[in-house]
Amino acid sequence: MAYWDIQVYGTAAESCGDNLKNWSLPLRLQPHARRLLTACWLLAAVALLLLLLGVFRSDYASQRRAAALQRCSRAAVALAFTADRCQLLHSAPPQQRTVYVITPTYRRPEQLAELTRLAQTLMHVPALHWLVVEDAARTTPAVAELLARTGVRYDHLVAPMPEECNILPGSKPRGVPQRNRGLQWIRANASRGVLYFADDDNSYDIRLFEEVRSTERVAMWPVGLIGSYGISTPVVVDGRLAGFYDGWISERKFPVDMAGFAVSVEFLLQRPNAFMPYETGFEEDGFLKSLAPFEPNEIELKANNCSKVLVWHTQTKKNEPSAPLDIKKYNNTNLVLLKKQIV
């Protein structure tokens, strides 16, 4: 069956005979052709609609992916001090001085608990470098694992007590070789900043570290829970140093606590012979005197003219070593892993 029915008007049709009388112009579609054309238009419309839906879905998916990435980015920032975030947090910008915290430590039942508490504070301090120095021949794996997961910039060092000190009667100058090792590291690796001796058995207000950071030469502030006096601090009158308040003054020129002062790295580097002596009870005094020329009237008084306590000697109760684990009974249990963490 032909699709087209053509009619010709005028003399042309007459001259062509009767067979042309049924032809017509212009061209017209037969019903079945119109149906076919309509179907083609519908198919084209459906295809266009599907194309638009595909573009919309692709754009929507892209937006969802972008939103998901944005949420992940926000979540990553919000995660409290993951390793990457802490590296950024503790990296000092050019205008901000690094605080170098020297912490001597030794293996004992309370060690990991106290280092964990201190770490939780230091994780909130920007531009900080933690020097953890063990009284050991080699680093302790449990301490190394703790330091790695904090995200704080750190160096894990060792400095065992010299044998000649171990055989001496009486109390040992604990922490001295570790602090001197920290000073050695600073001299080799730092050119600016502030050093602070932070023992692992103290409690620290986060505001203290901004007081430390602003130290120009040697700064001091009160330390709480010291001896029978309850506090060790410079005595301040009208904004000036008038003396020292401490349970044990003795003949010390600087009767202060280890947690009560900080020293500028630049100031330290100008005094290559500054060190901490192996003299029990005179460690702080000996170190500060080794910074000569330096006199008490040059002390920078921090913590609102020494009127605020931002660090305390909260010494943990001494615990006896835990009982040995019965390996035959508990060999295949979680206790094996737990005992590696508990002395």
Residue 106 belongs to domain with CATH number: 3.90.550.10
Q: What is the mean pLDDT of residues 98-112?
A: 96
Q: Any idea which of 16-25, 44-53, 186-195, 279-288 has the lowest mean pLDDT?
A: 16-25
Asked if 224 and 249 count as a contact pair (C-beta separation under 8 A), the reply is: no
Asked if 104 and 16 sit in the same domain, the reply is no
* Residue 74 is assigned to a structural domain of this protein: no
33-64 pLDDT, tens digit each: 677 777 777 877 777 777 776 655 665 556 66
* Residue 174 is assigned to a structural domain of this protein: yes
Q: What is the mean pLDDT of residues 218-245?
A: 93
* Residue 121 is assigned to a structural domain of this protein: yes
Looking at per-residue confidence, does 25 or 133 come out higher?
Answer: 133
Which of 180, 209, 205 is closest to 104 using CA atoms?
180
pLDDT for position 23: 40
Active site residues: 284
Asked if 286 and 277 count as a contact pair (C-beta separation under 8 A), the reply is: yes
Q: Which of 58-62, 120-124, 248-252 has the highest mean pLDDT?
A: 120-124
* Residue 323 is assigned to a structural domain of this protein: no
> Which of the four pLDDT bands, split at 50, 70 and 90, describes residue 265?
very high
Asked if 20 and 165 sit in the same domain, the reply is no
pTM, full prediction = 0.71
Question: Which residue segment(s) compose the domain that 31 sits in?
Answer: 11-52
**If phi over 0 gives left and psi between -120 and 50 gives alpha, with beta otherwise, what is residue 305?**
left
Which of 102, 100, 98, 97 is closest to 283 using CA atoms?
102
DSSP string computed for 126-192 = SSEEEEEEESSSS--HHHHHHHHHH--EEEEEE-PPPHHHHTSSS---TTHHHHHHHHHHHHHH-SS
* Residue 294 is assigned to a structural domain of this protein: yes
pLDDT for position 3: 38
Q: What is the mean pLDDT of residues 281-305?
A: 96
Looking at per-residue confidence, does 289 or 89 come out higher?
Answer: 289
Helices (H), 79-137: 83-90, 111-122
> Which of the four pLDDT bands, split at 50, 70 and 90, describes residue 67?
low
Helices 141-150, 83-90: inter-axial angle, 10-degree rounding: 80
**Type of residue numbered 266:** E
Domains in the chain, number? 2
CB count in 10 Å sphere of residue 23: 15
